Structure 1
């Protein structure tokens, strides 16, 4: 998959996943991260092999090289990320307004780890992050925050991403649905 801004690697960390409560929202966080140009997502909280397998199946069917991994200790991941020269952006309604900091964030070619919360984000995340960024200062979803932020950091280039080795490919049409099916990189059908 041709991802992000040609120079920075974007990964996402989803905090505090709860198997019995968060499957749908965490799945949407994963799908959004992938569709908007991230190359990997890390899940913390409860390990959810079924969710991870479902995301891997999406990658197999819809293409690209997006990865998903479980990290029990997210602070170790954040420390490792920063020790390797990467930056951490925590999306929160209590941070600096995205429109005021996005250019500064984009100006750095360092790899980005975007952190999205779960049930309650601990203070240590706010303190450890290079940026605490708010996408509006109103309550809404981590999915919408992630989509808006990735769109802004990518300058809209997520619309031009190439998801290699896709089995299914949606063909944009004004009416109806058109999906091409590819097998061994050859178009075999559309419906």
Structure 2
């Protein structure tokens, strides 16, 4: 399952990816906002990402990526509906673009601690270094 895959990635490659399964997305959004965080929904119908990302960047963010038909309630509940382009797009692509804008590209240089291996840059082929405990 997805949870086991994330735990495996964290163990082998480092980092702190997490997933939480919830019975109520409404409660999840409300609890996040009540704790002071922003809820951001990625959609092709929202406000332009480049205009709003500076405001969003200053906060803890819960990112909501829907697929298919998203309830109008989501659009009403969130702090921002953000457009990653105004054409249909993949949810994974929208999340990737959003995170890249949020972190201003710095995520590409991030070093993750706690892993057992890391990828070494290579012009061709795969190079992986095993790390000592």
Q: Shorter-chain TM-score: which interval?
A: over 0.9
TM normalised by structure 1 equals 0.67
User: Does the 8 Å contact 1:87/1:110 carry over to 2?
Assistant: yes
3-state DSSP class of the match of 1:102?
A: helix
- Contiguous gaps of at least 5 residues in structure 2: none
Tell me the equivalent position of 1:9: none
3-state DSSP class of the match of 1:67?
A: coil
What pairs with 1:136-147 in structure 2 (closer than 5 Å)? Answer: 136-147=85-96
* Counterpart selection for 2:78 from 111, 129, 134: 129
TM normalised by structure 2 equals 0.94
3-state DSSP class of the match of 1:119?
A: coil
Tell me the equivalent position of 1:170: 119
Which 4+ residue blocks in structure 1 deviate beyond 2 angstroms? none
State the distance in 2 between where 1:51 and 1:111 align: 24
What pairs with 1:25-174 in structure 2 (closer than 5 Å)? Answer: 50-106=1-57, 109-174=58-123
State the distance in 2 between where 1:102 and 1:110 align: 10
User: Does the 8 Å contact 2:38/2:56 carry over to 1?
Assistant: no
1:116-143: CA deviation from partner (whole Å, max 9, x where unpaired) = 0033210010001111001011111010
- Contiguous gaps of at least 5 residues in structure 1: 1-49, 185-191
1:80-138: CA deviation from partner (whole Å, max 9, x where unpaired) = 000111111100000011122112222xx321111000332100100011110010111
User: Does the 8 Å contact 1:98/1:135 carry over to 2?
Assistant: yes
RMSD (CA atoms): 1.1
The alignment covers a number of residue pairs equal to 133
